[in-house]
Amino acid sequence: MKIFIDTANLEMIKEINSWGILDGVTTNPSLIAKEGTDVATRVKEIASIVDGPISAEAMSTDWEGMVKEGRELAKIHKNINVKLPMCVESLKATKVLSSEGIDVNMTLIFSPHQALLAAKAGAKYVSPFIGRLDDIGSYGTDLLGQICGIFENYGFDTEVIAASIRSPVHVLDAALAGCDIATIPYNILSMMVSHPKTDEGIAKFVADFEKSKKK
Ligand code: G3P
């Protein structure tokens, strides 16, 4: 499973990239706003750090506007894909952009039906938001299995990005469901590294090594 970081913060991106495990980056308008910058500037900066797909969201609400914005975003760097929110207009825009070789990440996916339509329109990625489904009392991770199963049944090339990840368990669920990618916040990636038994084991090895030096 590929690992993307879900942030627009350059320090976090640099740190995770230095771990040697980072395959790409997703941003959204809320994450960009938190950094006090604009999408074009920030994705250009991210592209200079990470050699992998970077999602940049288009904000138009009609398909012609989405196509225009998508073409501009794609011009920034070869690794940029255009994030569009799931709706009729974005399906139309996806058809056009994908026919021009511009990758689309269809975001705000909350049902398998939406994912199927996005794949049919030619989206390169679909982003099911599992944490936000949990928020309203649904089982977000069930959606991952349904989408992966449908794409497998029909041989769609569209990749599934597990998004709105709120815990290491969500990452495990994404991997077990067979998702191609999980886009993970910095704090969850940090949690994934640690285990109390690892810390305990390291402390014991260090203590025993120090003791053996004294003999
Ligand atoms: O990738 C989508 C993600 O940024 C949304 O996460 O936690 O706002 O639901 P969250």
At 92-106, the pLDDT tens digits run 999 999 999 999 999
Per-residue pLDDT reduced to its tens digit, 130-174 = 999 999 999 999 999 999 999 999 999 999 999 999 999 999 999
Strand partners, 81: 55
Q: Is 179 left (phi over 0), alpha (psi -120 to 50) or beta?
A: beta
Ligand 1 atom 3: residue of nearest CA: 164
What span, in angstroms and rounded, lies between the C-alpha atoms of 12 and 35? 12
Per-residue pLDDT, 214: 78
Per-residue pLDDT, 85: 98
Instruction: Say how many Å lie between the CA of residue 207 and the centre of ligand 1.
Output: 42
What span, in angstroms and rounded, lies between the C-alpha atoms of 141 and 160? 12
Q: Report the residue among 129, 138, 144, 189 best suited for mutation to probe ligand 1: largest number of ligand atoms under 8 A from its CB.
A: 129
Per-residue pLDDT, 87: 98
Closest by alpha carbon to 107, among 87, 91, 86?
86
Q: Which residues line ligand 1 (CB under 6 A)?
A: 6, 26, 28, 127, 129, 131-132, 163-164, 183
Q: Using the Cα atoms of residue 103, residue 43, residue 13 and residue 111 in order, give the sign of their dihedral.
A: negative
Per-residue pLDDT, 190: 97
Q: Is 2 left (phi over 0), alpha (psi -120 to 50) or beta?
A: beta
Average pLDDT per 10 consecutive residues for the chain, totaling 215 residues: 98 98 97 96 97 97 98 98 98 98 98 98 98 97 98 98 98 98 98 96 96 83
Q: Report the residue among 32, 143, 164 best suited for mutation to probe ligand 1: largest number of ligand atoms under 8 A from its CB.
A: 164
Per-residue pLDDT, 213: 86
Ligand 1 atom 6: residue of nearest CA: 164
Per-residue pLDDT, 82: 98
